[in-house]
Amino acid sequence: MNSNLSYQKGTFIINNLKFRNNRITNRITNVRFNSGSPKPQKYNSRGEREYTDEEAEQILKTMKSIWKDQTVSQNEKIIELFNKYEMGGLISPTASKIVSAILRDPEATVPGEKVENVQKFHQALMHYHMHKQMEYNNEEDPVFNPKKEDKKSKIQEEEDEDIKKGKKFGFKLEMENDKDAKDSKPFEFRSRQSKDKKVQFLEMELRLDTILLWLVAGGLITYTLLSEDFDKEITFQEFETSLLSKGYVDRLVVINNETVQVILNDFGKNQPIHDPRVEYYFTIGSMDTFEEKLKKSQEAYGIPEEKRIPVMYIRSTNVWKSLWGILPTVLLFGFIFWSTRKLLSNSGGIGGGLFGNKKTFKKFNADENVKITFNDVAGCNEAKEEIMEFVNFLKHPQKYERLGAKIPRGAILNGPPGTGKTLLAKATAGEAGVPFYSVSGSEFVEMFVGVGASRVRDLFKTARENAPSIVFVDEIDAIGKSRGKGKGMGGNDERENTLNQLLVEMDGFKSDDHVVVFAGTNRIDVLDPALLRPGRFDRKIYIGNPELDGRKDIFGVHLKQIKLDSECNIEDLKGRLATLTPGFSGADIANVCNEAALIAARKNDEYVKLTHFEQAIERVIGGIERKTKLLSPEEKKVVAYHEAGHAICGWYLEFADPLLKVSIVPRGQGALGYAQYLPPDIYLYTTNKLLDRMTMTLGGRVSEELHFESVTSGAADDFEKVTSMAQRMVLACGLSPKIGLISYDMDRGNDYTKPFSDKTASVIDEEIHRIVSECYNRCRKLLTEKSGEVEKVAERLLKKEVITREDMIELLGKRPFPNRNDAFDKYLASKLEEPESKVEKKDDEKKDDDKKDDEKKD
């Protein structure tokens, strides 16, 4: 047998066994072709080929034989078959018929075989039509007629030359390059013919790492199988009675002073009860004890001295078992070595390494990615002005630098959740024509030491390279908390390292870097003082809940997306909705608009109306209406009188907020009823207003006491509010004559000591009880005087379940005090009176018409 061995790089070729990779990239166009084979037997009305059941079964049988035979050229056979039967596309009647035949195939008994055959058929059909498309475009087909590379053509020429010379067997070793190694498959079989088509080649392709893996796995499996354990452990008593007493023992071998191996003599091995391959052994605890017991046993069985069992002492180590024992350790260190190399090789980017992508921060482009501008942000005009100054500085730095001004290093956007801090930062990216990098503070926190600091370095390095630029760190409190706190309970050193690196990077800015850092948080009180000092975050921009005008502007932004009636007055609608939503944030207002649209869609209305917005506001405030939560008549009556007590107190107390609506419909998790008031946007509370508000809050419990024999637990939330207000009056606001003008801050962090003496604590308790008791007595007196009005309101509630301000005016007359909420007078009070005025006007017109008719009759 002739052989040829050449070494080029690293794929094995055994004559017609060749190890090589062929990566195929397919492209399928939308053009479908049918070949021009002999005339079909059957067409449908659209001129498409249709198969009979016999034809479909014959095609399936032929395809299965092609798939099973690895020695034939499958691609060419598939082309012949599909050309012969004019196979259509994936959705043609012919393809559907073949799929049906596959699913009905009685020979497919292996689970999943039918699904696998369908997949093979679809793949073959896709390649077939791709081939026809390539043929039509005169293009090289990478599947059926792949383009040969020069390297492969040279190899094939060498093989054909060997065949001409009469060589029947060859062995070649070839190493593929790195690019081929990445694209190659671990294992692949295929067939090929020589140029003259006289010799059939069977090619097998293997990657070198796959071969090594197989060798290692095969060695381990072989060792496991061949190292079958024929040792049998016995006790000393079994050794004594079954072997020693019968004369089967030739000698004993003590291994490592722990195990005694029993070597049988020929007489013992030939016993039918003993397998000659089995070796007996037993363990010992002490050499002295073993030797003493062995001596006594031999004396007991009368074995003479010259025939005593010899004992050998050796020390032995099983190499394979030792290697098997340290294998887990080797694998562990191998994994650590691999992961470390991977981590170091990818450490050039933020978040790179073993488990992360190269970058976790996102770069926004003002022209492509960000479509939000300052026109889409409303309710925070002062914040926009400050942010706009940063943007102008980055756009036109020479305007400021010529006067000696330096760009501020950064600004912290602080405020309650939902006020638009992140939205404002995104709008900055839309306004500024500079790169904008956005990252969350939590993305710097990782389980690996040093990763957070590395990410900070990479972020600021990228920002400097692309200056002028803006960096926005959302939720910076995730890494910027004060250092040194909580050390006794386990501090987070990795977080502190990340913070230290952030401080260093912000200190490293130069005046001409033109990099601005924005940060967003709603916990500015927990941030490290070093982070807030001038030179790092020079400005602190507070974004609070919007006031009336701000809420109108925010509603104006969100109402653009809502389909309203063409006759609707947008300005009036914005003002009314802004008045109905005191204390709402921008996120709450967006939620109200979305809920209103959902309610309108749920009711199949053509437009979103004011009633839909009012229902949405109620849902945001009180939660979803619990229609399935049915109250008993007694509970419903208690809730009605409870809410009536609140309503009467709010109606007859001068400094109480205007009442809008009272309901006894259960909402949310625990609210069985609620009264909706409209507090004005005020920042200073007088003592009278606080006392009136506490009195109104106690109205529910007092009403229950006056109208029922026993009270319920429904006022628990009211008591919590009253207690909180009384504590603030005494401890913080200086509204207690006995305590005086002293503020005791109860929020002291981890300091649980009281900032006052026990005597002062007693005085504080007395003052809180005094204020609550005065409000209670005042409420009880008012509701006793207005018991008839309470009855009217409660009965109306039991009848209608929801009453509005119009019902209160009808039952009680107009409120005896002027409203102190200008927005209420402008947008609501006049609207509520409009229906009455319209009714009166219609009545007057009707009377005039009747009078004219009477005059005509006369």
pLDDT digits (tens, 9 = 90+) for 221-231: 776 666 555 67
Query: Which span out of 194-198, 659-663, 690-694 was modeled with the highest average pLDDT?
Result: 690-694
Q: How confident is the model at residue 72 (pLDDT cuts 50, 70, 90)?
A: low
Q: Give the CATH number for residue 379.
A: 3.40.50.300
Burial pattern 266-282, b for ≥16 Cβ within 10 A else e, equals eebeeeeebeeeeebbb
Distance, CA of 293 to CA of 314 (rounded, Å): 20
Are 601 and 671 in the same domain? Answer: no
Considering the domain architecture, whether residues 521 and 556 belong to the same structural domain is answered as no
Which CATH number does the domain housing residue 281 bear?
A: 3.40.1690.20
User: Does residue 55 carry a pLDDT above 70?
Assistant: yes
Task: State the pLDDT at residue 720.
Answer: 92
**531, containing H or E segment:** helix 529-532
Main-chain dihedrals φ then ψ at residue 450, nearest 5 degrees: 90, -10
Radius of gyration of the CA atoms of the chain, in A? 45
Cβ(707)–Cβ(678) under 8 Å? no
Higher pLDDT, 163 or 607: 607
CA–CA separation, 446 and 440 (whole Å): 13
For residue 424, the surrounding DSSP H or E stretch is helix 421-431
Query: Structure tokens of 133?
Result: 């498309």
Beta strands, E only, 265-304: 279-283
Residues 396 and 250 in one domain: no
Q: Which residue has the higher pLDDT, 304 or 201?
A: 304
pLDDT in tens, 508-529: 666 567 788 888 888 888 888 8
Number of domains into which the chain is organized: 6
pLDDT score of 28: 32
pLDDT exceeds 80 at position 678: no
Shared-domain flag, residues 737 and 670: yes
Task: Please report the pLDDT score of residue 778 as a whole number.
Answer: 94
Q: How confident is the model at residue 840 (pLDDT cuts 50, 70, 90)?
A: very low
* pLDDT of 169: 46
> Angle CA(700)–CA(631)–CA(808) in degrees, nearest 5?
45
Indicate the pLDDT class of residue 598, thresholds 50, 70 and 90: very high
- Is the predicted pLDDT of residue 705 greater than 80, yes or no? yes
Those residues whose C-beta lies under 8 Å from the C-beta of residue 659, and which sit 6 or more positions away, are 647, 650, 651, 675, 676, 677, 805, 808
Range 725-743 average pLDDT? 90
Which domain-ending residue is among 106, 136, 166? Answer: 136
Establish whether 140 is a catalytic residue. Answer: no
- The mean-pLDDT minimum among 51-65, 394-408, 743-757 falls in 743-757
Residue 76 lies in a domain: yes
Higher-confidence residue of 25 and 634: namely: 634
Query: What residues have CB less than 8 Å from 310, skipping those under 6 apart?
Result: 251, 252
560 shares its domain with 493 = no
**Domain-ending residue, one of 591, 622, 653:** 622
Q: What is the mean pLDDT of residues 318-347?
A: 71
Within a domain: 347: no
Q: How large is the average pLDDT for residues 802-828?
A: 75
- Angle between helix 586-602 and 610-622 (nearest 10): 120
- Residues ≥6 apart with Cβ < 8 Å to 58: none
Cβ-proximal residues to 496 (8 Å cutoff; 6+ apart), any chain: 483
Distance, in Å, from the CA atom of 222 to the CA atom of 580, rounded to the nearest integer, reads 81
Digit-coded pLDDT (tens) for 373-386:
787 788 788 888 88
With a CB cutoff of 8 Å and minimum separation 6, the contacts of 43 are 49, 50
Calpha distance 88→74 (Å, rounded): 19
Q: Is the pLDDT of residue 855 over 60?
A: no
Cα distances from 168 to residues 3, 173, 195, 423, in angstroms, run 8, 17, 16, 75
pLDDT at 301 over 80: yes
Tell me the pLDDT band of 38, cut-offs 50, 70 and 90. very low
Sign, CA torsion 92/93/98/100: positive
Q: Are residues 670 and 596 in the same domain?
A: no
Beta-carbon-side half-sphere exposure of residue 122 (alpha carbons within 13 Å) = 11
Domain span holding position 809? 634-820
Tokens of 701: 């419990």
447-468 pLDDT, tens digit each? 556 677 788 888 888 888 887 8
Among residues 240, 475, 595, 643, the one annotated as catalytic is: 643
Q: What pLDDT shows up at residue 36?
A: 41
Between residues 38 and 551, the one the model is more confident about: 551
Strand order in the sheet with 515-521: 362-364, 436-440, 469-474, 515-521, 410-414, 539-542
pLDDT tens per residue, range 211-252: 777 777 777 677 666 655 567 888 888 888 888 888 888 888
Q: Where residue 566 sits, what CATH number does that domain have?
A: 1.10.8.60
Q: Does 838 lie in the same domain as 745?
A: no
The mean pLDDT value of the chain amounts to 75
420-425: average pLDDT: 83
Residue range 667-678: mean pLDDT, rounded: 73
Average pLDDT over residues 121-148: 71
- Is there a domain that residue 717 lies in? yes
* Position 493 pLDDT exceeds 50: yes
- Is 221 inside a domain boundary? no
For residues 538 and 647, the model is more confident at 647
- pLDDT tier for residue 5 given thresholds of 50, 70 and 90: very low
Burial of 488 (0-12, 13-18, 19+ CB in 10 A): exposed
Asked whether residue 764 is domain-assigned, the answer is yes
The mean per-residue pLDDT over the stretch 389-397 comes to 81
Number of separate helices (H) and strands (E) present in the chain? 30, 20
What is d(CA 579, CA 577) in angstroms, rounded to the nearest whole number? 5
CA 616 to each of CA 580, 582, 588, 596, 807: distance values in angstroms, whole numbers, following the listed order: 11, 14, 11, 5, 22
CA 793 to CA 651: how far, in whole Å?
11
Whether 780 and 852 share a structural domain: no
| Strand duo 311-314 + 249-255: pairing | parallel
pLDDT digits (tens, 9 = 90+) for 78-87: 888 888 888 8
Determine, yes or no, domain membership for 216. no
The reply to whether 529 and 597 lie within a common domain is no
Residue 58: pLDDT above 90? no
Average pLDDT, stretch 661-676? Answer: 76
pLDDT the model gives residue 348: 44
Percent of the chain with pLDDT over 90: 10
322 part of a folded domain: no
DSSP string for residues in 59-75: HHHHHHHHHH-TTS-HH
For residue 336, is it within any domain?
Answer: no
User: H helices of 303-379, where?
Assistant: 319-345
One domain, residues 236 and 376 = no
C-alpha dist (Å) from residue 828 to 184, 364, 489, 660, 823? 75, 44, 55, 9, 8
- Calculate the alpha carbon distances from 536 to 176, 476, 517 in Å: 55, 13, 9
Which of 589, 622, 655 is the last residue in one of the domains? 622
pTM for the full model? 0.55
Is the N-terminal amide bond of 468 cis, ω within 30° of 0? yes
> Among residues 435, 407, 441, 406, which one has the least CA distance to residue 421?
441
Farthest CA pair distance, the chain: 163
The pLDDT of residue 492 is above 80: no
Q: Are residues 560 and 660 in the same domain?
A: no
Q: Please state the rounded mean pLDDT for residues 175-203.
A: 56
481 and 378 share one domain: yes
Residue 265 has pLDDT above 80, yes or no: yes
Q: Given a cut of 90, is residue 771 above it in pLDDT?
A: yes
Q: Helix, strand or coil for residue 676?
A: strand
Tokens of 40: 């079909």
The lowest-confidence range among 227-231, 670-674, 775-779 is 227-231
| Per-residue confidence (pLDDT) for residue 772, from 0 to 100 | 94
Instruction: Please tell me the predicted confidence (pLDDT) of residue 549.
Output: 85
